[in-house]
Structure 1
Amino acid sequence: MTDILGAYWTTAGPVTIRTGREWSLFGWEERCAQAVESGMTGLGLWHADLAHLLETRSLADIGAVFRDHGLVHLELEFLDDWFVGPDHPGRAAADERRRLLFDAAAALGAHHIKIGNLARSAASLAQLTDAFGALCRDAARHHDSLITYELMPFDINTTSLADVLQILDGADEPNGGIAIDTWHLGKMAIAPEDLRVIDPRRLLYVELSDGQVANMPDHSEETTRFRRLPGEGEFDIPGYVRVLAEIGYHGPWGVEVLSDALRALPIDEMFRRTVASALAQFEGVRP
């Protein structure tokens, strides 16, 4: 069985990423029901949506709805500025978000918490290594969820796969590893065979997303509005799937497609197309 996780931005519907309302107008029960109907085994929650849900219900209630629908894998995101010093302007908000995500991970039994550097704060690899190790140890004191560092082309600190792997190896924490997104791989010109350098112990989460090789003028707009479902773009998604499976990845396969076109679809079609496009990438590949 191939476990498909519908990442938050793929399943949230009409939201405005970064510049407006980020919480979903789709109810939590509705999303869970559609996930099961479409064949997903998991869903994702973005921190803003989680906070919105908590305005009217408890973590226990959110978890009960998720489990009662038979869903298994939950993703929580996103933690920024986890590595900045106490005097950094983003530190207070980062600490508050860390508490939110850690409490949710403990209550909901999340598969992982995704972290990275969307805020584009500067730090050395040594600083990141120390901070990642401390974050993983702190996480282990509160919950059993994994901490996954997402490799991104717009992270000003880790500009290559080797940089992220250096941080993970240096920290050497059992609950810490890398989150791979095929859209980011395509944009960074990282070929499927290049992924064989990853230690299987560090390969904790994979997301499928397609797009075009040539960059649009506005990179932020491209990544939040014009991604494509797996197999509908120019990246070698089956090649990535094959190599990652051969390395030994055995977790859920997320689908993270931030797309105006996808968000405009009726919810049932959105979920159905997400699963169908993802599963098509596994033809001839043993997950």
Structure 2
Amino acid sequence: MEITFTHLQLAGTLPPEPPRFGFDTRLAAVSGSGGTGLATRVSELDQLLATRSPAELRALLDAHGVRFVELEAMYGWFAGDREPEEALLRYAETFGVPRIKTAVLLVPPAVRPEADLLAERFAALCDRAAAAGTTVALEPVVVLPGFDHVAAHDLVRAVDRPNAGLMFDAWHVFRDPAGMDVVTSVAARHVAGLELTDGHTTPKGTVYQDCVDERLLPGEGDFDLAGLLAALRATGADVPLSVEVLSTTLRALDPAENARRTMAAVRSLLARV
């Protein structure tokens, strides 16, 4: 089974800081661990393409047996702002990136648009993404109010586009009381992927601190990851697996060691389930 890495898994930093480790170092780490893909961001691609052509970058990826699987992250569309998406869609088309991750981040005092307007804007976004040959992966986020799994599921069902689905992050699933209910009821066509991570039953520190600093490698915590995997497989979906373990421990490691430990944990989990 293919396992891929989110951008933050190996960056060694959290936004808005740039990655602490260079792209070539992270690419080698993914390849050396047996991973097959990684995510990147527009800002990083802008920097890479300042010194290399798209063909040279594709050749480098091919040499490592790794591909871009995701662009992170598209925001602003829900407020009617299309400008940030232009580069994302252009790069998705240039490199054949299969999905762009997005979320509705409602930082107070921001409020969610009315349901009809939100659906209209999301549908239009998905149609523009389809023209670029990519999928929109909508991730429910529970560290901010206003857009949990129920809200995200309702939106994806409302637009029902073939290139729109939910990106389930295990941390958010198990921190949302309705997370597993959505997982067990989602249609296969509405599943865009699963980000594996683990955690403690009770959050350590604030919910935000737990989200960005205290996650654990798959199989090392209390989350029922076997049940989550089984529930998603029961939908009939072909679920792409990636890893996003946000942890002060892993951020302190060099990418090769981070990737090695991560892949060992994921393989152990999958062998058990």
Q: TM-score, normalised by structure 2?
A: 0.90
User: Which residue pairs with 2:115 in the alignment?
Assistant: 125
Residue pair 1:158, 1:164 contacting (<8 A) in 2 also = yes
Corresponding residue number in structure 1 for 2:29: 34
Q: Where does 1:11-26 land on structure 2 (aligned, <5 Å)?
A: 11-13=10-12, 15-18=13-16, 21-22=17-18, 24-26=19-21
User: How far 1:6 moved relative to its partner?
Assistant: 1.0
Q: Give the total of aligned pairs.
A: 270
Q: CA deviation at 1:105?
A: 0.5
Aligned-residue CA RMSD (Å): 2.1
Q: Counterparts of 1:20-99 in structure 2 under 5 Å?
A: 21-22=17-18, 24-72=19-67, 74-85=69-80, 91=81, 95-99=82-86
Tell me how far 1:51 sits from its aligned partner. Answer: 3.4
Which residue, out of 75, 93, 103, partners 1:106? 93
TM-score normalised according to structure 1 size:
0.86
> Is the counterpart of residue 241 in structure 1 residue 229 in structure 2?
yes
User: CA, structure 1 residues 233+190, in 2 after alignment: closer, same or farther (shift >3 Å)?
Assistant: farther
Which amino acid is the alignment partner of residue 149 of structure 1? L
CA contact (8 A) 2:68 2:97 kept: yes
Q: Partner residue of 1:9? A: 8
Structure 2: state its 5+ residue gaps: none
- How far has the Cα of 1:231 moved from its partner? 1.3
Q: Which residue of structure 1 lines up, in the alignment, with residue 246 of structure 2?
A: 258
Q: How far 1:212 sits from its partner (Å)? A: 1.9
1:135: which partner in 2? Answer: 125
Q: How far 1:284 moved relative to its partner?
A: 4.7
* Deviation string, structure 1 residues 13-38 (Cα, Å, up to 9, x no partner): 2x2433xx22x243323322221211
Aligned sequence identity (%): 30
1:181 maps to 2:189 = no
Match of 1:88 in 2: none
Amino acid corresponding to residue 147 of structure 2 in structure 1: T
Partner of 2:256: 268
CA–CA separation in structure 2 for the residues paired with 1:41 and 1:189: 33
User: Structure 2: how far apart are the matches of 1:158 and 1:206?
Assistant: 18
Aligned CA distance change for structure 1 residues 164 and 193 (closer, same or farther; 3 Å): closer
What's the CA shift string for 1:133-180, capped at 9, x where partnerless?
000011122x21110110111353323x33222211111211111110
Q: Is the 8 A contact 2:204 2:214 kept in 1?
A: no
What are the Cα deviations for residues 66-107 of structure 1, in whole angstroms up to 9, with x where unaligned? 22322245111111121113xxxxx3xxx3421121111011
How far apart are the structure 1 equivalents of 2:53 and 2:111?
36
Question: What letter corresponds to residue 17 of structure 1 in structure 2?
Answer: P
Give the Cα–Cα distance (whole angstroms) in 2 for the partners of residues 191 and 251 of structure 1: 17
